[in-house]
Structure 1
Amino acid sequence: MTITYEWRGAIDNAPLNALHADGFGSPAARTAGTDWRTRLHRHSLGWVCAREDGSLVGFVNVAWDGGVHAFLLDTVVARHRRSRGVGAALVAAAADGARAAGCAWLHVDFEERLRSFYVEVCGFRETSAGLIAL
């Protein structure tokens, strides 16, 4: 099977909500009402969709500050397609899209369990950062 990656690919809320429920292990009812199409068009520089035979199997959102800083959010791969390079390809396509849009920096926050993916696989370098839970 071939997986294709598309910068600012067409978004259908139901499949993206289902992917988030599968990928993040949350109940589908919790994400069912999210209007991704409106949210992405209103707040994002872009996003990348990974599709296999027309089905959404991966997604990453690229938010930005309106200038040179872009930020990865919601990187998710369907459970049945993990450990096959889909996540790394999503991040690479997101970096290409942000670079083409004139961004100079791509930031990502991640949980400790994802450190090797982002640092070793995707090539991010570690930096100091801060976080306030609201």
Structure 2
Amino acid sequence: MTITYEWRGDIDNAAFDKLHAEGFGHPLEREDWRARLHRHSLGWVCAREDHCLVGFVNVAWDGGVHAFVLDTVVAQHVRSSGVGAALVGAAAEGCRAAGCEWLHVDFEEHLRSFYLDACGFKETAAGLIAL
């Protein structure tokens, strides 16, 4: 298995929609992901196996020194092989190159080990308001 990673890689809406639906357990949305990413994101990382999209992470930002990991997703058949951690690592490099000083992430409890152990995030206090 050879996986390649690309910062701000080209997004095929149908392929990304399929990966996102698989990873987050929802129906296909037929969203214009490419336009959304270009409008709102500092960058993103695409993971591909033989030119097929198998992983993705989005990086939003505040326009300054803070960036935020969103929507980390890996295709079922390559999970637990290091693809997710490599995606986040490539995202961190892209953020560093863009002049960011901080990379933030929120996660559900079952993802604690992935983000803190595999990706190297440090635990911090944070707050959330459900809207």
TM-score (norm: length of structure 1): 0.96
Fraction of identical pairs, as percent:
79
Superposition deviation, residue 101 in structure 1: 0.1
The alpha-carbon deviation at position 52 of structure 1 amounts to: 0.2
Does residue 42 of structure 2 align to residue 35 of structure 1?
no
**Structure 1 residues 75-114: aligned runs within 5 Å:** 75-114=72-111
- 1:33-92: CA deviation from partner (whole Å, max 9, x where unpaired): 211100000000000000000100000000000000000000000011100000000000
The 2-side partners of 1:131 and 1:93 are apart by: 27
Q: 1:27 Cα deviation (Å)?
A: 2.1
- TM-score by length of structure 2 reads 0.98
Structure 1 segments of 4+ aligned residues over 3 angstroms from their partners: none
User: Runs of 5+ in structure 1 lacking a partner?
Assistant: none
Which residue in 2 is equivalent to 1:20? 20
Residue type matched to 1:4 in 2?
Answer: T
- Output the CA distance in 1 between the equivalents of 2:115 and 2:44: 17
Q: CA RMSD in A?
A: 0.6
The one-letter code sitting in structure 1 at the alignment partner of 2:109 is E
The one-letter amino acid paired with 2:27 is P
